[in-house]
Amino acid sequence: MERAEAEVEMAGNGDAVHTPHSAPPTAPSARVSIWESVRACGVWGRDVDKAELRRRVVMPLYARRAVAAAVAEKDEAAGVAAAAAARDEAVGGAEEEDGLEVVTPMVVFVNSKSGGRHGPELKVRLHELISKEQVFDLSVVKPSDFVRYGLGCLERLADQGDNCAKDIRANLRIMVAGGDGTVGWVLGCLQELNKSKREPVPPTGIIPLGTGNDLARSFGWGGSFPFGWRSAVKRYLNKAVSASVVHLDSWQAVIRMPEGEITELPHALKKAEPADQLEFSKASGSELTEKASCYKGVFYNYLSIGMDAQVAYGFHHLRDEKPYLAQGPVANKLIYAGYSCTQGWFCTPCTASPQLRGLRNILRLYIKRANCSEWEQIQMPSR
């Protein structure tokens, strides 16, 4: 049986992604996460004044309508037209123009499928705290559309002399309510701003809705969604306004497979450009073939290839096919444990297939170190 061989190249990205941070660099322990969840059941977060929070994060009416329209229509011009219409309504007295002294405008992305599926309720709560136009459901709106059309609309308004839109674009911060995969998806889309010279890149905070929440835990946002989440949401938003900004390393991975296409690409991957494929071939010393498939993506804390990735992949599909099974973090962890026994090290069917027996038989790994132009092949250990 022929073995399909995959090649992976990884390059550290010089452009950093920003994340609000209000905790030491060391990750909090699991006991801290549990304590924060218990603490949230009380008055935690109730000391944040709702009116003051709105004053700080809500955009003016015309601006938030412009962004929402541009994203919905996938057209910057539609956003500009919506802004003009909202201004006319305000002048006519039909609508009150609020949020003119916005300090730190904020946009929130919510993944309703993450973790215990608190997304729908959380979205309603966010509508109460800020505004409906500044909350985007990721099952409806892709973050790439927001980056291209929403931010593009603000930039176009700023070019037309709108100083308020210019300030919003410069001071905008983003919150992501989801797991590590959701946060990585949003950060990967925001990184396009660096490539197209559309700085600044909005700092990104996290409301941990996922099962593992490793990235959120590492940056002090907590390892789990609090039990008393309704009052805690205000604290998350307030923390995003006042937290300092630190840099997060990002890596670009290019994966080439000898043949075949991925029918359903994950959000983290997209089809590689010809230039990426050419550079990959030079790095690995192999020639491009018409049957080769090449993909690229951005990752942060870690990149998983192998049994752990297979477990995560299986859980993702089970959650989509049978959402009633994944109703909370505890249920999700039990499902992960079950997949680990069948797809991981114990009772694994992988041992029956020579293709899946060892990564070193099917994978070649190359990395480019910082300040180095040469690609280096990494030897895969026998285990």
Instruction: Calculate the average pLDDT of the chain.
Output: 76
Q: CA-based Rg of the chain, rounded to a whole angstrom? A: 23
Domain range spanning residue 277? Answer: 253-302
Residues 119-134 pLDDT 10s:
778 888 888 889 899 9
First to last CA, the chain: 22
Residues 29-85 pLDDT 10s:
344 444 444 444 444 445 778 888 888 899 999 999 999 999 999 999 999 999 998
Residue (of 310, 26, 301, 25) closest to 187 by Cα position: 301
The answer to whether residue 137 sits within a structural domain is yes
Question: What is the reported pLDDT for 76?
Answer: 93
The answer to whether residue 325 sits within a structural domain is no
CA 257 to chain CA centroid, Å, is: 26
**Helix or strand or coil: residue 70?**
helix
Statement to judge: residues 176 and 290 lie in one domain: no
The answer to whether residue 270 sits within a structural domain is yes
Residue (of 242, 341, 329, 308) closest to 30 by Cα position: 329
Statement to judge: residues 132 and 236 lie in one domain: yes
The answer to whether residue 369 sits within a structural domain is no
**Nearest-angstrom CA–CA distance, 243 and 220:** 10
The answer to whether residue 262 sits within a structural domain is yes
The answer to whether residue 275 sits within a structural domain is yes
More confident residue, 204 or 12: 204
Question: What is the reported pLDDT for 375?
Answer: 83
CA distances from 97 to 88, 91, 151, 235, 261 (A): 11, 9, 21, 26, 51
Please state whether the peptide bond connecting residue 200 to the residue before it is cis, i.e. omega within 30 degrees of 0: yes
Q: Please calculate the CA angle 172-300-3 and round it to the nearest 5 degrees.
A: 140
Whether 212 shows a pLDDT value over 70: the answer reads: yes
Statement to judge: residues 110 and 161 lie in one domain: yes
The tally of domains found in the chain comes to: 2
Question: What is the reported pLDDT for 315?
Answer: 77
Per cent of the chain over pLDDT 70 is 70
Statement to judge: residues 76 and 135 lie in one domain: yes
Question: What is the reported pLDDT for 281?
Answer: 64
Helix residue ranges, H only, 259-353: 274-284, 307-321, 329-343
Statement to judge: residues 168 and 293 lie in one domain: no
Of the CA atoms within 13 Å of residue 310, those in its CB half-sphere come to 15
Statement to judge: residues 159 and 273 lie in one domain: no
pTM for this entry = 0.74
Statement to judge: residues 221 and 175 lie in one domain: yes
Statement to judge: residues 55 and 198 lie in one domain: yes
Q: Which residues pair with 62 in a beta bridge?
A: none
Whether 22 shows a pLDDT value over 80: the answer reads: no
The answer to whether residue 343 sits within a structural domain is no
